[in-house]
Amino acid sequence: MEQIRLVALDLDGTVFNDQKEITPRTLAAIRAALQKGVTVLPATGRTADGVPEQFTGIPGVRYALTSNGASVVDLQTGEQLVSLPFAPDLARRTYRALLPFGGMLSIFIGGKSYTTRENAELSLDITPPNLRSYFRKTRIEVEDMDKTLLEHAHEVEKFSMMYATVEQRDAAWRGMEAACPELEIASSIERNLELSAPGVTKGRGLMALAAHLGLTPGQVMAVGDSGNDLTMVQMAGLGVAMANATPDVLAAADVVTGDNNHDGVAQAIEKYVL
């Protein structure tokens, strides 16, 4: 195995425990890797504005992969190293196809997330309790989502949906596969649906960053737990699944570490990086 020089870490269910904290051991492992000269970055479905400072504020964290790979940002310079938005026509078609399925819609545009007041209020009822504060803090409320989408169709990074039940989510998933089969569709938490442009995944964004840094896939370790982490776990030289990962991620991983409540990320960094 090549020496690991780049470590990509999913956030929810991976770096963060169920209380949305980075534990002291995990924080110490990340800091030790950075001090060793290894690039460590958050690789998340969140927007750039939604990545918590408790990760980006760690000295030495320079990059952030956001919106499931649609954007990779240099946090020091503000430069967007990777930008993979929807084609405008496809963004409009995806939006129209989603509407009949209901649910709470957020549209990720240019590193920010937009929703309506109605959806923001709905989030209190259907968002998992440990994510409600994040949703309310990071969503920008607009009066007219149709207008927002039309004005920014060329900047759409991702559509994010939350449903009241798994059955509603699964029905929407099947419907969107039929209506827009070219989309990348994944889920990162229970009852959510995330739609990206064709070929846009965390794996693609991560490999683009690795190439930018002059690294090979064999020098990359990716750690995740959910469906939107699958491609980066598959494409990294060392793909690591959390013990709490979904079955598809567990099956694709090279190794399995501890769960997010027992310092699984720290275990992986200590064993394979330090």
The arrangement of strands across the sheet holding 63-66 comes to 63-66, 71-74, 80-83
- CA dist 26 → 9, 16, 262 (Å): 11, 9, 9
| Contact of 49 with 268, CB cutoff 8 Å | no
Quickly count: other Cβ atoms within 10 Å of residue 66's Cβ: 29
- How far is it, in rounded angstroms, from Cα 51 to Cα 273? 24
**DSSP class of 191:** T
Rg of the chain in Å (alpha carbons): 18
- How far is it, in rounded angstroms, from Cα 69 to Cα 65? 6
Contacts of 60 (CB under 8 A, 6+ apart): 31, 34, 35, 40
Among 93-107, 129-143, 198-212, 223-237, name the one with the lowest average pLDDT: 129-143
What are the tens digits of pLDDT across the range 105-126? 999 998 888 988 777 666 666 7
Q: Per-residue pLDDT for 130 more than 80?
A: no
What are the tens digits of pLDDT across the range 204-217? 999 999 999 999 99
Q: Per-residue pLDDT for 135 more than 90?
A: no
* Segment holding 230, helix H or strand E: helix 230-235
Domain final residue, candidates 171, 196, 221: 196
Do both 75 and 110 map to the same domain?
no
Domain count, the chain: 2
Query: What CATH number is associated with residue 151?
Result: 3.30.1240.10
Q: Max CA-CA distance within the chain?
A: 53
Print the domain residue range for 97. Answer: 88-196
* Segment holding 118, helix H or strand E: helix 117-126
The arrangement of strands across the sheet holding 104-109 comes to 139-142, 112-116, 104-109, 156-162, 192-196, 184-186
| pLDDT (mean) for 131-158 | 85
pLDDT value of residue 49:
80
Do both 131 and 178 map to the same domain?
yes
Query: What CATH number is associated with residue 77?
Result: 3.40.50.1000
- How far is it, in rounded angstroms, from Cα 70 to Cα 111? 10
Domain final residue, candidates 196, 217, 247: 196
pLDDT value of residue 70:
95
pLDDT value of residue 30:
98
pLDDT classification of 189: cutoffs 50, 70, 90:
confident
pLDDT value of residue 158:
95
Position 1 in a domain: no
